[in-house]
Amino acid sequence: MSSATSYPLSGEDREIQGRARRFVDDELIPWEVYAEEHEGRIPEDTRERHHRLAIDLGLFAMNMPTELGGGGMTMLQQTLVSEQLGRVTNALGWCVHTPPAWAPAVVTHEQLDRWIVPTIRGERHECYAITEEGAGSGVDAIAATVRRDGDEYLLNGIKMHVTSFNSANYSFFQGKIADGDHAGGHAMLFVDHDTPGVRVVRVPRYTHTYADQHPIVAFEDVRVPVSNLVGREGDGLAFTYEWFRYERLMIAARCCGAAERLIEEATAFAKDRTQFGGPIIENQAIAHMLADSLTELWAARLMTYRLAENIDAGLDVKLQHAQCSMAKLYASEMAGRVADRAVQIFGGRGYMRENVAERFYRELRVDRIWEGTSEIQRNIVADQLAKRGVLGLLG
Ligand SMILES: Cc1cc2nc3c(=O)[nH]c(=O)nc-3n(C[C@H](O)[C@H](O)[C@H](O)COP(=O)(O)OP(=O)(O)OC[C@H]3O[C@@H](n4cnc5c(N)ncnc54)[C@H](O)[C@@H]3O)c2cc1C
């Protein structure tokens, strides 16, 4: 990538960015159409190869500390890698897994050995069981219960949209403490999926074509030792918010990657495709769609990189919260607009599943919904704006 027009990055940052880009271009993108045609799945030996390469290239668990076997990357470097992973469809980039970075600071030694370190090594895989029928944007409305019973907790609840449950072997289960000093507070617990009482209720189909499913999962009288509690009783919501902040930034980065790929592909097509005796890019209507897309991508990218650097520099958590919401809001809405224009530029081909614009048009839609909808991001930003003012938020 030329340095003339892009963000100032160190040599190490560029090397990491290039490593991720080559992995995406050489190994992942070639499997997109196959995945689309096979319910998101690719041959097992290829899936295993991608998993091994992600580890060998030092991209897997890039967000985890090096002393635990992770990549120890800066937030900016993680953003650069996520951006590249965003250039591929069908969630093939998910072979680069980022375990919960908040965990090492709060889990016990036993929990570290049993769940977190094996996850960093790629031997175990987690998922998040938080959302419920009656609790989506308003997480505090969860009805799942966590009841202390001697040396155990008894868990009950039905969770929705549990992403990757089919490829994970343990969940972070979030419920409300039923009684005792912390009654009504949130608790988060490790739950191995082979624990009696964990059951898939239904596997709904979603707009995208991913191998990772989002089932409805019942936790019925599930008993886990008290040592499975993450942190302390009442802490559960804080971990969820920390994860949201991180994921919102990474979603922004992936959306920038998706938009870049779409603009590249749509530009190449518009230069090549001839109608009425000339390439369609010579029509101002087409050229302006590309110009708007590139301009918006640049804005989103600058915002995303700058926020990552702010976090690396120790930005106050409340400001991080607002800025992560702004980056996710803007980048996800930008990518949605870019995908819509790309479909239009490809014309009928843009409506075919073998076309990258068609796939991104479907896949990017969820980035305005998960990890907090666009409306929730606006609520967060507006709340912080009222409290801190423009200068307080943007400097
Ligand atoms: C593909 C997918 C994967 C997911 N993976 C997971 C997962 O792994 N684990 C997990 O726990 N959850 C997961 N989720 C759940 C996701 O986080 C929620 O869908 C999301 O937070 C929105 O909640 P909801 O769907 O219940 O919508 P609702 O909260 O019911 O919102 C419906 C509409 O009302 C709007 N709205 C709600 N409140 C307000 C308000 N105060 N102001 C303005 N507008 C408002 C929303 O913006 C939205 O437009 C996933 C969802 C999807 C679609």
Tokens of 315: 């930005």
Contact 64, 120 (CB under 8 A): yes
**How confident is the prediction for the chain on average, in pLDDT?**
96
Is 142's pLDDT higher than 80? yes
Nearest CA to ligand 1 atom 44: 375
Taking the centre of ligand 1 as the mean of its atom positions, its distance from the CA of residue 137, in whole angstroms, is 5
| Pocket of ligand 1 contains residue 9 by CB under 6 Å | no
Contact 224, 195 (CB under 8 A): yes
| Pocket of ligand 1 contains residue 366 by CB under 6 Å | yes
Which atom of ligand 1 is nearest the CA belonging to 174? 11
| Pocket of ligand 1 contains residue 161 by CB under 6 Å | yes
Is 368's pLDDT higher than 70? yes
Which atom of ligand 1 is nearest the CA belonging to 164? 8
**Over the stretch 165-204, which tens digit does the pLDDT of each residue have?**
999 999 999 999 999 999 999 999 999 999 999 999 999 9
DSSP result, 114-180: IIIHHHHHTS--EEEE--BTTBSS-GGG---EEEEETTEEEEEEEE---TTTTT-SEEEEEEEE-SS
**Over the stretch 197-224, which tens digit does the pLDDT of each residue have?**
999 999 999 999 999 999 999 999 999 9
| Pocket of ligand 1 contains residue 166 by CB under 6 Å | no
- The closest alpha carbon to 356, from 21, 36, 17, 27, belongs to 36
What mean pLDDT comes out for the span 140-153?
97
Alpha carbon distance 155, 186 (integer Å): 12
Which atom of ligand 1 is nearest the CA belonging to 208? 1
**Over the stretch 249-301, which tens digit does the pLDDT of each residue have?**
999 999 999 999 999 999 999 999 999 999 999 999 999 999 999 999 999 99
Sign of CA dihedral 170, 172, 174, 177: positive
Taking the centre of ligand 1 as the mean of its atom positions, its distance from the CA of residue 135, in whole angstroms, is 8
User: How do 152-159 and 186-192 pair as beta strands?
Assistant: unpaired
Contact 348, 383 (CB under 8 A): no
**Over the stretch 305-349, which tens digit does the pLDDT of each residue have?**
999 999 999 999 999 999 999 999 999 999 999 999 999 999 999
Q: How confident is the model at residue 240 (pLDDT cuts 50, 70, 90)?
A: confident
Residue 322, strand partner residues? none
What mean pLDDT comes out for the span 43-70?
98
Specify the pLDDT at position 135.
Answer: 98
Q: How confident is the model at residue 2 (pLDDT cuts 50, 70, 90)?
A: very low
Tell me the residue ranges of DSSP E strands in the chain.
Answer: 126-129, 145-149, 152-159, 170-177, 186-192, 198-202, 216-225, 229-230, 274-275, 278-279
Burial class (CB in 10 A: 0-12, 13-18, 19+), 214: buried
| Pocket of ligand 1 contains residue 136 by CB under 6 Å | yes
Alpha carbon distance 328, 255 (integer Å): 9
Specify the pLDDT at position 395.
Answer: 87
Nearest CA to ligand 1 atom 45: 375
Q: Give 239 or 351, the one with higher predicted confidence.
A: 351
- 387: amino acid identity, one letter: K
Going by the DSSP 8-state scheme, the letter that residue 204 receives in this structure is -
| Pocket of ligand 1 contains residue 214 by CB under 6 Å | yes
| Pocket of ligand 1 contains residue 130 by CB under 6 Å | yes
Specify the pLDDT at position 378.
Answer: 98
Alpha carbon distance 246, 10 (integer Å): 22
What mean pLDDT comes out for the span 44-53?
98
Specify the pLDDT at position 16.
Answer: 98
SS3 358: helix
Residue 276 has a CB neighbour count (10 Å cut-off) of: 7
Specify the pLDDT at position 85.
Answer: 98
What kind and span of H or E run contains 226?
none
| Pocket of ligand 1 contains residue 133 by CB under 6 Å | no
Which atom of ligand 1 is nearest the CA belonging to 379? 42
| Pocket of ligand 1 contains residue 369 by CB under 6 Å | yes
Residue 145, strand partner residues? 156, 176
**Over the stretch 105-139, which tens digit does the pLDDT of each residue have?**
999 999 999 999 999 999 999 999 999 999 999 99
Residue 66 has a CB neighbour count (10 Å cut-off) of: 10
* Beta-carbon contacts of residue 238 (< 8 Å; ≥ 6 apart): 231
Specify the pLDDT at position 275.
Answer: 98
Tokens of 217: 């999962």
| Pocket of ligand 1 contains residue 167 by CB under 6 Å | no
| Pocket of ligand 1 contains residue 370 by CB under 6 Å | yes
Specify the pLDDT at position 1.
Answer: 46
Taking the centre of ligand 1 as the mean of its atom positions, its distance from the CA of residue 368, in whole angstroms, is 9
Tell me the residue ranges of DSSP E strands in 184-273.
Answer: 186-192, 198-202, 216-225, 229-230
Specify the pLDDT at position 369.
Answer: 98
- The closest alpha carbon to 166, from 212, 97, 119, belongs to 212
Alpha carbon distance 162, 261 (integer Å): 28
